[in-house]
Structure 1
Amino acid sequence: MSEPHSFPVTVYYEDTDMAGIVYYANYLRYIERARSTIVEELGLDQRAMREMDIVFVVTRVEADYVSSARLGDRLTVQTRHYAKGPVRWIFEQEVLRGDTLIFKALVTAATMSTGGKPMRLPAELRSRLGG
């Protein structure tokens, strides 16, 4: 499993509902941005992968809403990840305000062809994922 990756998030007005609380679906956006940053930092060029007919697709999200974030909060998305076999990539993600857990998710992504068929990630790329 990887060392924790940190991704900062500031809660803006557009992220909230009328009560100033983060709209529930926006947590999925926050964790997606963190995963996209990890992919980039690992040197995986998703445009080049697409040209090789390989894309990442989220196949499962298990989410727990623990507390609420509010307008102006500064949050951190902490992510640990690991490859699970030749096709799946697992992410354990938490959204924190300081030391307070706000949201957590277990996300499974898979590699597929652009036509939607499961596809093995080449070994050289899979080694970057920790598997």
Structure 2
Amino acid sequence: MAHAFPVRVYYEDTDLAGIVYYANYLKFIERGRTEWVRSLGVDQGALRREVGIVFAVRRVEADYLRPAVFDDALVVTTRLLELGGARIELEQAVLRGEERLFVAKVVLVCLSDAGGAVRLPAAVRAKLLAG
């Protein structure tokens, strides 16, 4: 089941044509990922402070299907596709009602403070799989 996070399009999100600027979809899905992880009980701030681990985007494959415009009520969905040792693969979408406006496949990696890939802690893995 996908996690859903509501987003409203503000004037600042649009370009001269009055549609959402392409890079802002990446901001929308970032917020959706953050809220997905939070909803599963993972405190990313504590994870960094206490364990020295952060999640970083390694890859994004994005398709822009239809434009969103000022004042649209959108929903960002986030769904786990695959969970590896240090890798998290997600499908995210931005919807206006039932209409898919943007879809992305996002690969995250779990990094140490030194910047190297590290395995997900077992407790975090369990929470991600439970979602």
Same fold? TM cut 0.5: yes
Q: Is the 8 A contact 1:15 1:23 kept in 2?
A: yes
Q: Which residue pairs with 1:44 in the alignment?
A: 42
1:67 aligns with 66
Q: Once the two structures are aligned, what percentage of the paired residues are identical?
A: 52
Amino acid at match of 1:45: D
- Please give the secondary structure, in 1, of the residue aligned with 2:30: helix
CA contact (8 A) 1:75 1:98 kept: yes
Provide Cα deviations, 1:55-100, integer angstroms capped at 9, x if missing partner.
1011000000011000111111111114422111111011111111
Q: Which residue of 2 aligns with 1:124?
A: 123
Which residue of 16, 19, 22 maps to 2:17?
Answer: 19
C-alpha separation in 2, matches of 1:69 and 1:63: 15
As a proportion of its length, which structure holds more helix? 2
Question: What whole-Å deviation, never above 9, does each CA across 1:11-54 have from its counterpart, x for those lacking one?
Answer: 00000012210000000000000000011111111121112111
Displacement over 4 Å in runs of 4+: none
Letter in 1 for 2:66: S
- Structural RMSD (CA): 1.2
Would you say 1:9 and 2:28 are equivalent positions?
Answer: no
Contact 1:82 1:129 in 2 (8 A): no
Residue of structure 1 in register with 2:85 after alignment: 86
Please state how far the C-alpha of 1:6 moved relative to its aligned partner.
Answer: 0.7
Instruction: Give SS of 1:130's match.
Output: helix
Instruction: Give the gaps of 5 or more residues in structure 1.
Output: none
3-state SS of 1:25 partner: helix
Structure 2, unmatched stretches of 5+, are none
Larger displacement relative to structure 2 (77-86 or 43-52): 77-86
TM-score, normalising length from structure 2?
Answer: 0.94
Query: How big is the shift at 1:123?
Result: 0.9
